[in-house]
Amino acid sequence: MSTTVRKPVHHAVYDTYADWETGHTTAHLARGGHEIRTVGPTAQEVRSIGGLRVRPDLALDALRPEDSSLLILPGADLWDTTDDLAPFARKAREFLAAGVPVAAICGATAGLAREGLLDDRAHTSAVSFYLAATGYGGGERYVDTDAVTDTSGAGALVTAGPTEPVAFAREVLRLLGVYEGEVLDAWYRLFHDSDAGAYAVLERAGAA
């Protein structure tokens, strides 16, 4: 009998990456059985905006879409101050073209906008004028909401602003089938709204 091997989730890490933005996502993906592998510009250690030091599991050049189930791009000061992270946006283009999902939050959405990846997809970010400053052509596709998943292209694209790490996680967990239906709703209510009553739903489902 054949079994399906679950491919890892790849989480980009680079100097000044916003470590708080993807913590809910990676923690609950891991609890759901997904391996998380970090990807840096090189294999050299990077340091988050919170001072955490991370030695990447692999360098960006070694990452292939066919070896992954998702690419996560967190925000970072470098998205708006240099072109150093442009290779990650180009890698996101490779992933989407190959039908592999990408999830970007905060400054990473601006990186995708500069790469032209938001011109034809529904998306969100911190605020509309933040993306407008990139000069991109997707302003009419901007959605003023907590997080957006667009499935109109070959690969699904999740976007969110910096104040919505829980909504960002909700979209990713739904996309990869970790939680769904009332369980996903309860998860969101617990971690976003501190709704203690939602815990019972998760406990019954074995997700607590």
Asked if 32 and 104 sit in the same domain, the reply is yes
Give the pLDDT score at 4. Answer: 62
- Confirm whether 106 is a catalytic residue: yes
Same domain, 117 and 49: yes
Selecting among 92, 106, 172, 186, the annotated active-site residue is: 106
Residue 2: predicted pLDDT: 41
Assess if residue 3 is contained within a domain: no
CATH number at residue 89: 3.40.50.880
Residue 106 sits in the same domain as residue 184 = no
- Examine the domain organization and report whether 55 and 119 are in the same domain: yes
Whether residue 188 is found in the same domain as residue 113: no
Ranges in the chain, pLDDT < 70? 1-4
Examine the domain organization and report whether 68 and 159 are in the same domain: yes
Tell the residue number behind the tokens 């079994």, with chain if given.
3
As a whole number, the mean pLDDT across the chain is 96
Strand 102-105 and strand 70-73: the pairing is parallel
Same domain as 156, residue 98: yes
* CB neighbour list of residue 182: distance below 8 Å, 6 or more residues apart: 201
Q: Is residue 145 part of a domain?
A: yes
Q: What range defines the domain where residue 161 resides?
A: 9-177
Read off the pTM: 0.96
Please name the residue that has the structure tokens 């990846």. 117
Residue 164 has a pLDDT of 98
Distance, CA of 162 to CA of 131 (rounded, Å): 13
Per-residue pLDDT, 5: 75
CB 125 within 8 A of CB 109: yes
Same-domain pairing of 81 and 57:
yes
Q: Give the HSE-up count for residue 12: Cα atoms under 13 Å, Cβ half-sphere.
A: 31
Number of domains in the chain: 2
Quote the pLDDT of residue 1: 39
